[in-house]
Amino acid sequence: MNVKMVANCSLRLRCLRYLSTTPARAFASSSSSVRKPALQDQLDTGPSFADFLQTTGGDQRTMGSLEGSRPRTAMVGPKGREKRITRLPDWLVTPVPVGDNFKKIKKDLRGLNLHTVCEEARCPNISDCWGGSDKAAATATIMLMGDTCTRGCRFCAVKTSKAPPALDPHEPEHTAEALARWGLGYVVLTAVDRDDLADGGAGHFAETVRKIKFKAPGMRVEALTGDFAGDAEMVRLVAQSGLDVYAHNIETVEVLTPMVRDRRANFRQSVSVLRAAKEARPGLITKTSIMLGLGETEEQVWHALRELRSVDVDVVTFGQYMRPTKRHMAVVEYVPPAVFQAWRERALGLGFLYCASGPLVRSSYKAGEAFIENVLRRRAGGVGVPLL
């Protein structure tokens, strides 16, 4: 910056300070456009941070480009103490968790000191997955290695710490015992990231799978893992532990990954994890999930899907990003159900084995698990319902 530019900047700053401290009547003879309120209006209506995240060229339509998809706000509360809230679209309203089965599952989890991603991540489907009258149809996603993560992704409600508590050596046994007691046909295991451990927790993950398969040989096990810092050997350890489905979420499109996920995670590393799992066991079903509503464009989602198919990923799910708290990144848009249906059809057209897509769909979604369980049964030569 040269001397002339510095002088101009200093002059503008002095002018703005003068305008903000001088009474408006002193400028009655001049144009009203120079007054502070008018200047503030121009700033308020200017571009937002989200505008600078858009790429140039290509199709710039976002997922929820239909009318009414942008977040709506309203003022509530008594006069003088109103507060602004965000109103969810009707398709995102879920019932309060109730039911005897819901209470039983929660009691069992607390008794064995187990954690679920259903609770820690505040999943909107917890009533649907836990509250059914049929125990065998209930789904609970167990979160291993405690409830504290070493990473801090901007979309996630799980607690974070650089030094979380030590692993519970009895957790694999307790988890297997609880699942065998419930008699579930399909279970999802996930875990917090543990960058503080030499193996990222891969050994703990694999041991839990082996314990479950020993106590309940007929139970289908899906493992939703972290990226193990890109260590293919750790991915192979888990993939060869006896599980049926290996899942790892890319979370969002490549362009938005630096703004959405922890700096130690990246799109290419996640794709490499899915590739390593498939290479470790070619017949293993691999699965991933993408959140919509973060400001992604259609072309960016197409790109992500093509990258996933290039490493032979079998299953993909799409769900609406829901802001856990005000400390997390804001929702850019609420994507209408019709757009989710369109992406389901596009994913199947690219060759994915299955795609669950909807505003309330999460990576551990029981409708998708039922489908995958049916595929596994048919591959094993058992009786299955005809696939759609």
Neighbours of 218 (CB within 10 A): 6
Helix spans in the chain (H):
3-21, 36-44, 100-111, 117-120, 126-130, 171-182, 202-215, 232-239, 257-260, 267-280, 298-310, 337-349, 366-379
Encode pLDDT of 167-185 as tens digits: 999 999 989 988 888 777 7
Mean of pLDDT values over 125-131: 59
pLDDT reading at 246 higher than 60: yes
The predicted-structure confidence for 330-372, as pLDDT tens digits, reads as follows: 899 999 999 999 999 999 999 999 998 988 887 665 545 667 7
Confidence of residue 141 (pLDDT cuts 50, 70, 90): confident
* Alpha carbons 148 and 260: distance in angstroms, whole number: 19
Q: Which residue has the tokens 């996933």?
A: 308
Distance CA 225, CA 274 (A): 10
Residue 55 structure tokens: 């790429």
- pLDDT tens, position by position, 247-298: 999 999 999 999 999 889 999 999 999 999 999 999 999 999 999 999 999 9
Q: In whole angstroms, give the CA distance from residue 253 to residue 102.
A: 34
Residue 107 has pLDDT above 90, yes or no: no
3-state secondary structure of 381: coil
Which residues, 6+ apart, have CB-to-CB distance to 374 below 8 Å? 384, 385, 387
Helices 267-280 and 298-310 meet at what angle, rounded to 10? 30
In this prediction, residue 79 carries a pLDDT of 79
pLDDT interval class at 163 (50, 70, 90): confident
Confidence at 74, pLDDT banded by 50, 70, 90: low
CB-count burial class (<10 Å; 0-12, 13-18, 19+) for 335: buried
Among 373, 321, 371, 320, CA closest to 348: 371
